[in-house]
Amino acid sequence: MRIGILGSGKGSNFRALAEAFQSGTLGCEPVIVLSDVENAGILDLAKSFDIPGHFVAPGPFRTKMAPEAEAELVQLLQEAQVDFIVLAGYMRVIKESLLKAFPGRIINIHPSLLPNFRGLAAWSQALEAGVPQTGCTVHLVDAGVDTGTILGQSIVPVLADDTAESLHARIQVAEHELYPRMVREFAQGLQKPA
């Protein structure tokens, strides 16, 4: 199975996936990395893992790709013959053209126990709410924001002395364990005969 990665930032979840692929535990191959941020760390990481990486100019919108930019994403992913897409810190809402091109084949990881704390800075939302635990969720991507079918979760306790930074760091540790495992399971599910 061939996977395409979309990311906007440093790429720590991508690193976990690429290392799992190199060690033979991912069960599918990252073949292309695309970013909406020209100098994103994830593109440098892709180069270090010898995976093609491309910047796609997002257009004028802050939270989504312009239609022509999303069409370019679809074209690049299709040319790379990806079987499914993994979002790794991709900070744009996925729109209809990408959802139609890869129906039920886009997954994301979110730093909370969905359906709680959707959207940005979910770890800060959890702290402000005073919950005893939060965590991370791998889910299918749909037209909503963090609303798709939940595939797996990992719980992270909220400690009395947690700051937003310390809680986020512990959630990321959980993400780096959960995401490769869930990507492997998702790929295995796609490979099963219908």
| Residues belonging to the active site | 110
CA 60 to chain centre: 23
d(CA 7, CA 91): 7
Question: CA 26 to CA 21: how far, in whole Å?
Answer: 5
End-to-end CA distance of the chain: 16
1-to-34, 40, 105, 135 alpha-carbon distances in Å:
18, 26, 12, 28
Ordered DSSP codes for 40-61: -HHHHHHHHTT--EEE----S-
| DSSP code of residue 107 | E
The rounded distance, in Å, linking the Cα atoms of 27 and 24 is 7
Residue 144, SS3? coil
